[in-house]
Amino acid sequence: MSKHHVTTTINGEPMEFLCEAQQTMLDVLRDELHLTGSKEGCGSGDCGACTIILDGKLVCSCLMLGVEAEGRKVTTVEGIAMGDTLHPVQQKFLEHAALQCGFCTPGFIVAAKALLDENKNPTEEETRYWLAGNLCRCTGYDKIIRAVLDAAAVMRGEASA
């Protein structure tokens, strides 16, 4: 079985890769492109550790085939910071200590960034529902929610970075 040649855009850069049909996008990111920020937690779409943004929509990269990236635009956690400047969500995760082991963090960062791209002023409830597909077994979520709401305030210019 020949490999598929896929032309795509990842974190703003044109990218080509070869993959087999059964390889997931997560496999491709980690094993072929060495973008190991996205994690495999459950492999079944429950935990959100593999979360990426595909053409502006949040998806689990473990539930997507690599070949499906053809012609699409993908953002991973590696594409969230602007050069050496952390995204407000990343900065606030640090300040609020919204992580302990860190395994779930890339998924939360990507999901939270997608939320704030769409909704500049989410309520706590909206934020909790939006992030219901991201599981954290360390922090108990409270710090994560505070970090996201604080990042939103920074992005609205209502709080200091």
Partner 1 sequence: MPRVSYTAPATVDEAVKALASAAGLTKVLSGGTDLLVQLKSGRVKPDLIVDMKHIPGLIGIREEGGFFVIGAATPGVMISANEKLEHAFPGVVEGVDLIGSTQIQGRASIAGNLCNGSPAADSVPPVIAARGTAIVAGPKGRREVPVEAIVTGPGRTSLEKGEFVVEFRLPKPKPRQAGAYLRFIPRTEMDIAVVGVAVDVTLDAGGTCTDARVVLGAVAPTQLIVEEAAKALIGHKLDAETLAKLDAAAQKACKPITDKRGTIEYRTKIAGVLARRAAAIAFERAAARA
> Residue numbers of the site for partner 1 (CB under 8 A)?
1, 4, 20-24, 43-46, 48, 51, 54, 57-60, 62-65, 67-68, 70, 111, 114-115, 129-134
> In angstroms, what is the minimal distance from the CB of 83 to partner 1?
27
141 or 159: CB nearest partner 1: 141
31 or 95: CB nearest partner 1: 31
> In angstroms, what is the minimal distance from the CB of 87 to partner 1?
18
> In angstroms, what is the minimal distance from the CB of 57 to partner 1?
4
126 or 158: CB nearest partner 1: 126
Could you tell me the end-to-end alpha-carbon distance of the chain, in angstroms, rounded to an integer? 52
> In angstroms, what is the minimal distance from the CB of 31 to partner 1?
13
> In angstroms, what is the minimal distance from the CB of 34 to partner 1?
20
Q: CB 118: neighbour CB atoms within 10 A?
A: 12
SS (H, E, C) the chain: CCCEEEEEEECCEEEEEEECCCCEHHHHHHHHCCCCCCCCCCCCCCCCCCEEEECCEEEEHHHCEHHHHCCCEEECHHHCCECCECCHHHHHHHHCCCCCCCCCHHHHHHHHHHHHHHCCCCCHHHHHHHHHHCCCCCCCCHHHHHHHHHHHHHHCCCCCC
44 or 160: CB nearest partner 1: 44
18 or 63: CB nearest partner 1: 63
